[in-house]
Amino acid sequence: GVNNTYHTGKLYRAIIGGYLDYEVVSGLHLKGNVGFDGLYTRTNRHLTDIIRVSRQGVNQQDDEVTLNLNATLSYDKALRSHTINAVAGVERQNSTYYSGLIAFENLISPDNFIGRPLSTSIMYPRFNHFPDFRIQGYFARANYTFRDRYLVGVSFRRDGASVFGLQNRWGNFPAISAGWILSEETFGRKLGPVNFLKIRASYGATGNANIPKVIYDTYSTTPNFGLSGGYGISGFGSPDIGWENVRTVDASLEFGAFQNRITGSAGFYRQEVSDMLLQTPIPQSQGGPGSVWANIGSLRNAGVEAQLNTVNVTAGAFKWSTNVNLTTVDNKTLRLTPRLDQNGQGIVNGGTITRTGGPLGTYYLAESAGVDPATGYELIYEIDQNTLRETGQTVKTGNTILATPTNLNNNRVILEGKTGSPTYFGGLSNTFSFKGLDLTVLFTFQGGNYLYDDIHFLRVDGSSNVRADAIGHYWREDNPNARYPRLTLSNVTRDKVGLASLAGQTTMRLQEGSFVRLRNAQLGYTLPVSLTSKINCKGARIYVSGTNLFTFTNYQGFDPEVGNIAEDQQGRNLRAGFVENPLFGTGAPFPQVRTFIGGINVTF
């Protein structure tokens, strides 16, 4: 065999930190932190002429440096029935990123790599210096407790981020909370088996500045074509954008009963996101890109959170306890822009659509009608175009048509209730102990979401390696009722089936993403003191553990727990369930690994 590509990479990282804590007077502390994180990557790549017309060598350098500074002044004081805790401080983060690349074409031999090019070699340099990212904040918070039963907390932050224009760079974010421990009251001591009872509520505001670093400006050094760089228009500048605001209200009840053999909490939360940072469609008549970053609309998230802890059995040396928690999530887009709300257009992002009145990122795909037994091509359901233009609703005509690029784009269906975001998630753990033995088993679960599995299906299109499960399940004349379309690239025109069979976005790749996973199991044994004392140590424990041991799901992809990890936040939010193919996007996650660990902890 032969290698078409030689690829080597080296990563160097330096992490340096420092910490200072000085007590000015009793209860008053001055603290400081400094942290440096430098990540330096050097990549060499050599492409032979086995497939290319000439040999190519590439040398790439990527440097990312982050500096964190933090200083606080804190005060703690307890006086009779009063307890006060207060802190004020400042923090700053500065990140710099640089990327440089030099490539040579027409290299003569595999040994003729970067650093030793010939005079006939052609050089393509490209250097990108991305703008620094800086964020600075000032904060203060105080907590007050009276008679160990009345609790009040207040805080305030003022943050500035370099990703926004000068006039909108700073945001203010207050918060307040209150609690009441009813079981400390006279009447609270007469609640029968309930020995602890507390209610609490809070309101808080936070900000989001997680957007590309150059969107408030029009020009940047990041545009490139192939191996060539430049300084050009990266998009319409958005000098008026500012912080995305998140306001959250929550309330809960905490309890303990039977001397805390049963403890838990239950509550609700409601979160409203306003001035959302989104790429908004603009008319093509304006020229340039089809969208621009802006603060638009609002979104609501709401749900309940519950947790229950129980000591199930305490019988001699045997103990068994359980912990279970559950969170539900319901999100709804309250408004976008007047133009998008009026015509029901919404924001289309790949195979999803976000419209007022619906959740984020509802799947917007052509609905697969299976494989045409006569031809082997994929079919989709036709949409009534008149109804779509007049009402914005997608209604099927009952006819099936070929899954051509034009048909795929014009016959997409809004799949109400199907998004990539789970509507519930939680966990269940059990801990058992008997004398020196202990066993902990943790299950996690989530559901209500759907995954668009690009990785699982795309490679059956015949353009590269074919998946094993395609064997015997793709269309042939002697297998007309197959699961997959015909595998072909040759003698097929683009206007007929697109780039290849299964190359277009349809519901054929959409699957339910619910799962239950055995997240972790650990078995340990603590040696008795009578034994450890003989070797002059306070204690010793031997253990073995496993992570991601089993997953129970109907999802056929690699891992139902990993979704879109695109670099931009909008891609992660609006296309949360898209598991991208690594050859075609940056949202390609790696499946979580199964690990086994064994060890011993010794205390001297």
Q: What is the DSSP string of 133-148?
A: EEEEEEEEEEEEEETT
pLDDT band at 589 (very low <50, low <70, confident <90, very high): low
pLDDT in tens, 276-304: 988 777 766 666 666 778 888 999 999 99
3-class SS letters over 530-564:
HHHHHHCCCEEEEEEEEEEEEEEECCCCCCCCCCC
**Which candidate, 207, 129, 208, places its Cα nearest to that of 175?**
207
Domain count for the chain = 2
pLDDT of residue 387: 86
pLDDT in tens, 209-221: 988 776 655 544 4
pLDDT exceeds 80 at position 124: no
Contact yes or no for 555/563 (Cβ under 8 A): no
What letter would DSSP give residue 98?
Answer: E
Whether 267 maps to a domain, the answer reads no
pLDDT exceeds 60 at position 269: yes
Instruction: Please state, in angstroms and rounded to a whole number, the distance separating the CA atoms of residues 488 and 259.
Output: 69
pLDDT of residue 394: 84
pLDDT exceeds 60 at position 604: yes
pLDDT of residue 103: 76
**Of 331-340, 444-453, 497-506, which has the strongest mean pLDDT?**
444-453
pLDDT of residue 219: 47
Whether 198 maps to a domain, the answer reads no
**Of 101-105, 470-474, 556-560, which has the strongest mean pLDDT?**
556-560
The residue range of the domain holding 555 is: 420-455+502-604
Q: HSE on the CB side for 383, CA within 13 Å?
A: 26
Whether 527 maps to a domain, the answer reads yes
pLDDT of residue 491: 43
Q: pTM surpassing 0.85?
A: no
Q: Which helix (H) or strand (E) holds 387?
A: helix 385-391
pLDDT of residue 500: 45
Contact yes or no for 33/69 (Cβ under 8 A): yes
Beta bridge partners of 274: 245, 298
Whether 19 maps to a domain, the answer reads yes
Whether 277 maps to a domain, the answer reads no
Whether 97 maps to a domain, the answer reads yes
- Strand 450-453 and strand 578-579: the pairing is parallel
| Residue 222: other Cβ atoms inside 10 A | 18
**Of 111-120, 225-234, 237-246, which has the strongest mean pLDDT?**
237-246
Instruction: Please state, in angstroms and rounded to a whole number, the distance separating the CA atoms of residues 313 and 321.
Output: 7
What letter would DSSP give residue 528?
Answer: P
Instruction: Please state, in angstroms and rounded to a whole number, the distance separating the CA atoms of residues 219 and 471.
Output: 50
pLDDT exceeds 70 at position 134: yes
Instruction: Please state, in angstroms and rounded to a whole number, the distance separating the CA atoms of residues 404 and 382.
Output: 12
pLDDT exceeds 50 at position 236: yes
pLDDT exceeds 50 at position 179: yes
- Torsion sign over Cα 110, 116, 118, 122: positive
Instruction: Please state, in angstroms and rounded to a whole number, the distance separating the CA atoms of residues 11 and 17.
Output: 20
- Give the residue-averaged pLDDT of 60-74: 94
Q: Which residues contact 260 (CB under 8 A, 6 or more apart)?
A: 195, 196
Whether 518 maps to a domain, the answer reads yes
**Which candidate, 240, 147, 254, 245, places its Cα nearest to that of 201?**
254
pLDDT of residue 498: 45
pLDDT in tens, 82-117: 999 999 999 999 999 888 877 777 766 555 444 455
Q: Note the residue count of the chain.
A: 604
Whether 7 maps to a domain, the answer reads yes
pLDDT exceeds 60 at position 51: no
- The average confidence (pLDDT) of the chain is 84
pLDDT band at 471 (very low <50, low <70, confident <90, very high): confident
| Amino acid of residue 168 | N
3-class SS letters over 281-300:
ECCHHHCCCCEEEEEEEEEE
pLDDT in tens, 309-358: 999 999 999 999 999 999 999 999 999 888 887 767 788 888 899 999 99
Contact yes or no for 578/351 (Cβ under 8 A): yes
| 404 vs 589, residue with greater confidence | 404
pLDDT exceeds 90 at position 127: no
